């Protein structure tokens, strides 16, 4: 996403992601990776804090 200049899309991921893969995903444009143990509230708060409103 970063290479294509896309900066208006919030991309998140989650699941069992190896720790060593997370930096590469973030460098590619993934805003956050939610690993097992992340609460729903933590995910919601991240999304609410990082959405860009265009209206």
Model pTM above 0.85:
no
| β pairing state of 12-14 and 32-34 | parallel
Q: Is 28 helix (H, G, I), strand (E, B) or coil?
A: helix
Give one word for 6, left, alpha or beta, with left for phi > 0 and alpha for psi -120 to 50: beta
Q: What is the pLDDT of residue 33?
A: 97
Q: How does DSSP classify residue 22?
A: H
Longest dimension (CA), the chain: 38
Give residue-wise pLDDT tens across range 8-36: 889 999 999 999 999 999 998 899 999 99
């Amino acid at each position: 996403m970063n290479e294509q200049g896309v900066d208006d899309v919030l991309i998140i991921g989650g699941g069992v992601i190896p720790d060593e893969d997370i930096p590469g995903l973030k460098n590619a444009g993934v805003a956050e990776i939610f690993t097992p143990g992340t609460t729903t509230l933590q995910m919601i708060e991240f999304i609410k804090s990082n959405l860009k409103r265009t209206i």
